[in-house]
Amino acid sequence: MEGRVILLTALAALAVAAAWYLDKSTPLVVGVVDKGTCGAFSYSYTTAGVMGLAYLEEAAFRSTGPGPPINAVSLQLNAFAKSGKVEYWVQNVLLITYFNGTYYLAAADYVFNVSDYGRVEAKGGGNVVRYRAGGRTVAAYQNSATIGEITLPAHLGLRIVANGSALYFYYEVDGAWRLYDVVELPDAAVLYVAPGRELEWVIAGPREGYTAEVAKWSGWMALYYEAGGKWYVPPCAYSGSESPPTAERISPVKGLAEYAEGDKAVQRAGRSAAILLWSPQASVIPAAGGLSVVLTPPSGQWTVLVNGTEVGASYLELAPGTYNITAILRAGDAIVYRCCICARTSS
């Protein structure tokens, strides 16, 4: 039976809000970034895992820096972690190199102690290196793995998982995941996102001081965090970061232009920009025999209640009547958005 829906009230309690004033900012890296902020509002959460997925259909690029140009770029999954009282910054990186008509892939992971850059207690398949930067000694754990040739189009991915006192580093090529390093920290570890502690899934140059220049690119990227054994996209996402912790960059002119399509950032070669890809939103529209709850982002950590009872689907088959529909979006244990809608259906 076709129904008729009247939206009587729609009240949204926003802990996040749109920040379109960022449209003209120039990012230093481009992809999908969870800043723990959305305009003037902020949130924070902890998680046991983060994941970046990418689809690359075609690509032509090079990177310039203090040395000769390199036909390479990096895909970086960058996150902050805590282990006891110590804070770490960790990277899981895919390096794509083009040589003699062939694309080659390698993976690398890094662990920095941001509580004390001069020392890092991390044990895994790699080793700790020390170097001078900014007038001080920096210690970093590093490890790498050669993957080999790849052909485009290709699906690529990276994961960082915290379990006990260990961090697990994975890479993925065309659906096949491989664990390539396990790093032990002194105490139980957890990943987290907060203002000033970004979660980044981005494209940049291949090494410190290098800037990626993109001539051709077609694909998408998607960023996830883990909660309760499931993967969710951030409640708020940006296309880039103007102050990333990483030392690699992307060109603002010969970079990547992005727009949101569902939970993904669709990418094409173009001018880089730091824009808000999405912010939380919930609405109700009529559907055959009921209501459809439209949620942005679609794969966010949503809870939908009808008259106080949690329902598992965004399509609601309801008898004629008046219903109070509540949509709640969380990031981990933190509620960042709540929308209450009173809707009436009739035959």
Please write the tens of the pLDDT for every residue from 213-261.
999 999 999 999 999 999 999 999 999 988 888 888 999 999 999 999 9
Domain ranges of the chain: 4-13+280-346, 19-278
Task: Pick the more confident residue, 196 or 41.
Answer: 196
Residues 6+ apart with CB under 8 A from 147: 104, 105, 106, 107, 171, 173
Q: What pLDDT was estimated at residue 332? A: 94
Give the pLDDT confidence of 136-162 residue by residue, as tens digits: 889 999 999 999 999 999 999 999 999
| Alpha carbons 210 and 93: distance in angstroms, whole number | 15
Give the pLDDT confidence of 11-27 residue by residue, as tens digits: 333 332 222 222 334 56
| Alpha carbons 194 and 249: distance in angstroms, whole number | 22
Q: What pLDDT was estimated at residue 243? A: 82
Alpha carbon separation from 72 to 112, 211, 247, 298 (Å, rounded): 24, 10, 15, 33
Count of alpha carbons within 13 Å of 193, Cβ hemisphere only?
31
Specify the residue for token string 């032990």: 184
pTM summary value = 0.90
Amino acid at 131: Y
